[in-house]
Every structure is written in C-alpha cells, then in structure tokens.
Chain A
C-alpha cells in the first residue's frame, strides 16, 4: 500500500516536471545562488568551535570546543557590547514602534488633502538618504565648533556640547535620528491598514455619539492591531541585530564605551583583527539569542492576541 503511494506520487512529480519544466529551469539560478551565498556559509559556523588555520581551511582546522565562547563570556567587552546592543535596540523599539502608528492615525485624521500629501511626501524622503550621508549630517550639525545646533545653543545663552564624543548622548542621537529617517516610511503600512477600514464602522460610532478620539480608540486601533502585532514580533526577533552601518559610522574612540555593539565588535575583531573563529562564535551567540527571542515573542503574541507569524 505504502509502496504504491510512493510510486504514484513519484509519477505525479515526473508529470509535473515534464509539464512545467520551464518553471523548474527558471527556479534553478536563484536556488544555486541562495545555496552558495546563504547555505554554504552556514557550514562555516563550525568555525566557532574550531581554531581557524588558513592552510587547513574550515574543515581541516582543529576543534577546540567552547573555548571561544568562554573567552567571549569572560572578556571585559562582553557586558559592554551586550548592554550597548540591548540599549540601542530596546530604545529604538520603544520609540520607533509606537510613533509610526501614532503618526499614521494622526495623518488619517487630516482632511486637508494638499497638506496630507505634502506631509507624506516629505516624511518619506529621509528614508532614501544613505546611512553615510545621514551620519555625516548628524556629525556636521552637532559639531562642537561650528555645528548649527551648537551655534543655536550658544545664541540662546547655553554652553557648547560635544555631542558626538559624549558617550551618554550617543543613544539619543542614534535613536532620534533614526526616528527622523524612518517615521514616515514606517507609517505607510499602518496607513494602508487604516484605508481598508469599513466606513460603516465610523458611521456606527458616530451614531453612538463618539467623538474623534473615541472613534480612533474603538475603530482605528482594533483595525491596525493585527498589523502592529506582526511588526512587533518581527522587531523583537531581531532585537539583538542592531545594524552595523550606523553604529560603525557614528563610532569614534571617545564614544566607544557606548557605541560598541555586537556587529561592530565582530567586524573589528573578526575582519580587521582576522580572528575568524572567535568572531564567528560571537555572531553565533547572537543568532541563537535572536532565535530564542523570536520564538518566545511569537508564542506570547499568539496566546495574547491570536496573531502570530506561524
């Protein structure tokens, strides 16, 4: 019986491949590309448990067990980079998650069409500026000698502040410049969810004597909640993945105690210092934490709101 099933499904496959052979051919280039550049590097993860010797390659290098992880956990850097990474990502999430939602709801209440369109267009623009340019703008504006911000502070009778070299200010600059860059763009998805709200729901709310705030509370919020939950899960899943570019570009010797995060650490030790095994261990540790977080948050979200990724 089982044998027969297998045979018939095999012929099904053969038939399908024969009929749609073009579709199979079409899929091959990308499959090969992903295999090489996404799957093959996974094989290199074993480096985390080995001592990389260039001549012997990844496979031939000797195993060392958890030596690199021990070094990571004992290192004086460990607490610092974990703390910085978490500070930046949780701060970014705490500010960057609710604000686009609120912005979308506020925009949705605007009835002046021109104003709405202008605001939308202008708020998306910063999203297209490269990280290098964004960080340059921050550096130039906040420069202690001739930056415009410090000029204004002095004009108002204050003292010049060396923003870029002050570790305490790093996270604020990092997070709020990010808000400036992504607020409008991240609101798009909520705007599209809001545009799909059934107008009858508003009418019903008006009949019940609801004012604008109450309409937002009883109609808008429930309508965008599913979208918001999905985005929250995705964000939480990558909470340890603070992007390399911005932190790296904003980093200098003076603010390093606040700006050194996992990805910049991996780059400095791994690529610049050529300690391949140790830095692979660092990024593996990072991936494992991410994965645990993603599963935890998804489970919690499913229990609480019935919305989940899977």
Chain B
C-alpha cells in the first residue's frame, strides 16, 4: 500500500487504464467459450428466446444424448484419434532424425542439408502439383496422404535443432566417445533421455495440428469411412446437414427442430474441442516453452 502512494499520478492513471482494458479483454476471451458451454446444456426454447446469456437456463443434456446416437460423429472421432496419434508419431520420427544430426558441429553436411530444408520454406510446387503427385503415387483416399506430405515442418526441425544445440553440450559427446561410445549408443543413452521437454513440445505442436487438420482431408479423402472429425463437423455445423433422426422426428414443427438443432450444434462444438481443451491447462507451459525455444536465434 505504501508503495502505491509513492507512485506519481501519471502512473496511477496508467495502471487504472491498463487494468481496465485487460479486464475487458479477459471477458472478451472467455465469453464466447463460456457461452458455447452453457448453450449446449440449456433448453432449446430458452436459447431460442434469447434467455440464455450468462447462465444456462432449463438445464438439459438432451442435446448430448442425441450427439451420442450420431454414428458419424463417433466415426470421425475414432478416425481423428487414430490420425492424430499415428500422424504425430510419424512426424516426430522425421523431425527428430533430421534435427539431431543438424545440431552436431562435427556433422560436415549440416549446412548443405539445412539449406536444402530452408528452400522449401519459401518455395513449393503449390497445391495442384502436390495433389497430382499424391494422386499419381496412388495415395488418394489412403491414410498416407494425410501422414506423409505434411509430416515435417521445417520450422519445427529448426526449433528442435536449436534445443539440441543449446541444452546438450558438445563436450558430452566428446566425453562419451572417449569412453568408446558410438554415435548410436550416445543418441539412445544420452540424447534421448535429455530430450524429454522438446519431445513433449513437438508432440503437442504436431498433435494439435493433426487434430485440427482440415485441408488435406478435404483434398485427399473422399471415402466417408476414412474422414476425420473436422470434415464431419463442417457438414453438421456449417452445411447444416443434420438428418431428421438427429434433431428428433418427434419434433412437431420445423421451428422446434431448428431450435433443437441449435443446441446440438453447441454440443458438437464442445465434444469436438474437448480433447484439446481438457489437455490444455496441463500442457500450456510446454507450448509456451516451445515458442521461447523457437525465438532464440541461431
């Protein structure tokens, strides 16, 4: 309190303005997410009449009950879980096997290979040429079209390499090789155990990316049985392709059906974002760490 009085008038004014703006921002960030959540458990009529604003009205889980019965949502869910896990593992393999050698000063080809990767950050063949390639490789409608073309991001390779350079001193390798360790034993016994933080960061970056992936599936997957959740979400949420049995054939009027459909939409948003949002508070720190590593130049 004492310190507060010492502040000049200008500083107090600054603090008041600063805190007020930030408080408003806090509300703006939270409200849309909060509203989706409360709308998904409110009664369709209350929602339609605009009575749901800050608190849920007429709490009901009927929307979720209908979502549970919707097979395509769960089909998409299963596919997306599989694509996310398998795709992340594949991406991690390519990213780490590329990044580690690049971090070693005594790896003579490092600059050539780095240049080879960097070029692809600025030049590419465009979607048509990539699409024709995937098509001619016979990968259309296969999981490989989702896994391989976007398996590595050069940016992530750079971040991982920077981590290796900064947190695993080269002396460690020299000491190990004096003890007769080969590169392979050094990598498995020393490097991998020390890389847990960066593995976590990369798994999260790739994982969220794969879960939210939309474009590649739109481009390469035609078979409904293989479509990821995001494609089904688009149909349900944006193209409003909800079957009559989903909103309920017992609905007496079209208006009632429409009201139920609204609540279901909010529910679907919650269900679709759940995996990421549940994990989010626990892994948030790692993400921030990833950005920090990436921002270190060199």
Contacts and interface: CB of A to CB of B under 8 A. Distances in A.
Interface in B90-145: 93-95, 97-98, 100-102, 104, 106-109, 113, 116-117, 120, 122-133, 136
Contact of A271 (B22, B131, B183, B288): B131
Contacts of B233: 130, 132-133, 136
A118 to B, nearest CB: 7
Given A133-B272, A133-B273, A34 B117 contact: yes
A284 interface: yes
- The dominant DSSP class at the B interface is helix
B214 A44 contact: no
B14 interface: yes
Given A26-B97, A136-B265, A128 B276 contact: yes
Interface string B205-235: 0001001101100010000000000100110
Interface string A133-149: 10111011100001010
Contacts of A140: 237, 262, 265-266
Interface string B227-253: 000100110011000000000000000
Contacts of A110: 18-19, 22
A126 interface: yes
A12 B106 CA distance: 11
Contacts of A17: 108
Contact of B33 (A23, A126, A193, A211): A126
A31 B184 CA distance: 19
A267 B127 contact: yes
B230 A41 contact: no
Interface of A: 12-13, 16-17, 19-24, 26-27, 29-31, 33-34, 36-45, 47, 57-58, 103, 106-107, 109-110, 115, 118-119, 121-126, 128-133, 135-137, 139-141, 146, 148, 151-152, 155, 180, 184, 188-189, 192-193, 211-213, 227, 237, 244-245, 249, 263, 266-267, 270-271, 276, 279-280, 283-284, 286-287, 291, 294
25 contacts: A17-B108, A22-B184, A34-B116, A39-B120, A41-B129, A44-B128, A110-B22, A115-B22, A122-B30, A128-B212, A132-B212, A133-B269, A136-B237, A139-B238, A140-B262, A146-B47, A188-B288, A192-B291, A211-B8, A245-B214, A270-B128, A271-B127, A271-B128, A279-B128, A291-B123
Interface of B: 8, 10-11, 14-15, 18-19, 21-22, 25-26, 28-30, 32-33, 35-36, 47-48, 50, 53, 93-95, 97-98, 100-102, 104, 106-109, 113, 116-117, 120, 122-133, 136, 148-149, 151-152, 157, 182-184, 187, 208, 211-212, 214-215, 219, 230, 233-234, 237-238, 258-259, 262, 265-266, 269, 272-273, 276-277, 280-281, 284, 287-288, 291-292, 295
